[in-house]
C-alpha cells in the first residue's frame, strides 16, 4: 500500500483549553514519525447534536479539512497543524451544527449541515480548498417566495429543516454529487407539507450546485443513509424504513430495490473480490452484504 496516510483524531485538554489532536502517519514503511498537530477548538454543548462532538476530516493536498460540531469548516496544514482558514457554515443560534466528514473533490470541498431537530434550514455547501471561499450553496427547502413554497401550508416552512447530515458521494464521469436530505420539520407530521416527501436523494452539478435530478424517499423522519456512487453508473443508498435502492446515476431512475428489514444510517461501501462486486451496509442489527450480479 503506497502513499497512504492515516489520520487519527483525539480531543485533548491542555493549558486550559480544548485542542484537537491530529496524528498523521504513513503506511509506506515499518517505522514512521507520528507528528501530533494540535489546534484549539470550541465544542458546542447546548445543541441536541452535541453528543457527537465529531471532528470529521478529509485530506485535500497538503490540507486537513475538518468540520466541528459548532458548524465550522477548518483547513489545517497537514504537516504543522497551522490553521490555514476557518469559515462559519451556519449560525449556531439558528440551530446549525455539523457532524459528517466533508467530501474533497479536486479544488472543492463539499459538505452537508446538521440541525434538523433544531429547525435549521438545510443546505449543501462547496468551498474552495485553497482559500475557503464559498463556491456555491444548494438549499434543500425553498424560501417563502421560491418555487415549491406553494406546497407548504401554515408556518412549517419557516423552520422546514431538511438537514444534509450524512456525507454524499461523487461521480467523476458525470460531474455530479449525490446527497441525502432528511429531517423535514415537523419530522413525523407532514400535514403542512402538501408536496409530499421532503426526504430526497439529490444529484447536483459539482461545479455550480444546480440540481440535476432528485428522487423522493418513502420514509418520513430521518430519511436515509449516505450515498455510494460507482463507476458502473449506479448510486446506492438505503432508507430508514429498510429499503436498499440502486438508482441510475445519470437520470435518478430506480434500477433495483431490496427490502432488508434494517434501519440504516451509515453509507454503503463496495469492494471487488474474485471478479465479483460486493456491497456492504452497517446497521443496528449487524452487517449486511450481498453480491451484485448481471
Instruction: State residue 15's pLDDT score.
Output: 55
Instruction: State residue 132's pLDDT score.
Output: 92
Instruction: State residue 188's pLDDT score.
Output: 66
**Residue spans of the chain under pLDDT 50:** 1-8, 13, 25-27, 29-37, 39, 41-57
Instruction: State residue 30's pLDDT score.
Output: 43
pTM of the entire structure? Answer: 0.81
Instruction: State residue 198's pLDDT score.
Output: 65
Q: Can you give the chain as a three-state secondary structure string?
A: CCCCEEEEEEEEEECCEEEEEEEEEECCCCCCCCCEEEEECCCCCCCHHHHCCCCEEEEECCEEEEEECCCEEEEEECCCCCEEEEEECCCHHHCCECCCCCEEECCEEEEECECHHHCCCCEEEEEECCCCCEEEEEECCCCCCCCCHHHECCCHHHHCEEECCCCCEEECCCCEEEEEEEEECCCCCCCCECCCCCCEEEEEECCCCCEEEEEECCCCCCCECCCEECCCCEEEEEECCCEEEEEECCCCCEEEEEECCCCCCCCCEEEEECCEEEEEEEECCEEEEEECCC
Instruction: State residue 197's pLDDT score.
Output: 55
CATH of 89-268, one of 2.60.120.260, 2.40.128.630, 3.30.70.1060, 1.10.1040.50: 2.40.128.630
Instruction: State residue 294's pLDDT score.
Output: 61
Q: Which residue has the cell 468551498?
A: 127
Instruction: State residue 229's pLDDT score.
Output: 93
Structural domain boundaries in the chain: 89-268
32's grid cell: 514512521
Amino acid at each position: 500500500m503506497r502513499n497512504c496516510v492515516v489520520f487519527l483524531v483525539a480531543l485533548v485538554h491542555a493549558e486550559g483549553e480544548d485542542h484537537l489532536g491530529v496524528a498523521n502517519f504513513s503506511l509506506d514503511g515499518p517505522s514512521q514519525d507520528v507528528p501530533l498537530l494540535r489546534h484549539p477548538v470550541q465544542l458546542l454543548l447546548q445543541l441536541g447534536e452535541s453528543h457527537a462532538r465529531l471532528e470529521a476530516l478529509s485530506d485535500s493536498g497538503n490540507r486537513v479539512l475538518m468540520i466541528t460540531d459548532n458548524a465550522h469548516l477548518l483547513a489545517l496544514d497537514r504537516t504543522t497543524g497551522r490553521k490555514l482558514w476557518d469559515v462559519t457554515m451556519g449560525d449556531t443560534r439558528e440551530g446549525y451544527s455539523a457532524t459528517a466528514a466533508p467530501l474533497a473533490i479536486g479544488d472543492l470541498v463539499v459538505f452537508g449541515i446538521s440541525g434538523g431537530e433544531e429547525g435549521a434550514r438545510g443546505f449543501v455547501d462547496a468551498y474552495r480548498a485553497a482559500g475557503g471561499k464559498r463556491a456555491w450553496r444548494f438549499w434543500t427547502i425553498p424560501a417563502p417566495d421560491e418555487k415549491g413554497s406553494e406546497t407548504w401550508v401554515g408556518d412549517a416552512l419557516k423552520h422546514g429543516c431538511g438537514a444534509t447530515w450524512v456525507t454524499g458521494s461523487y461521480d467523476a464521469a458525470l460531474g455530479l454529487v449525490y446527497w441525502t436530505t432528511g429531517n423535514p420539520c415537523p419530522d413525523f407530521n407532514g400535514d403542512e407539507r402538501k408536496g409530499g416527501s421532503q426526504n430526497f436523494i439529490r444529484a447536483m452539478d459539482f461545479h455550480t450546485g444546480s440540481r440535476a435530478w432528485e428522487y423522493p424517499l418513502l420514509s418520513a423522519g430521518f430519511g436515509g443513509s449516505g450515498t455510494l456512487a460507482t463507476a458502473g453508473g449506479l448510486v446506492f443508498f438505503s432508507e430508514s424504513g429498510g429499503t436498499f435502492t440502486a438508482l441510475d446515476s445519470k437520470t435518478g431512475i430506480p434500477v433495483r430495490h431490496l427490502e432488508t428489514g434494517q434501519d440504516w444510517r451509515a453509507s454503503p461501501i463496495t469492494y471487488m473480490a474474485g471478479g465479483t462486486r460486493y456491497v456492504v451496509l452497517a446497521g443496528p442489527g449487524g452487517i449486511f452484504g450481498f453480491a451484485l450480479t448481471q
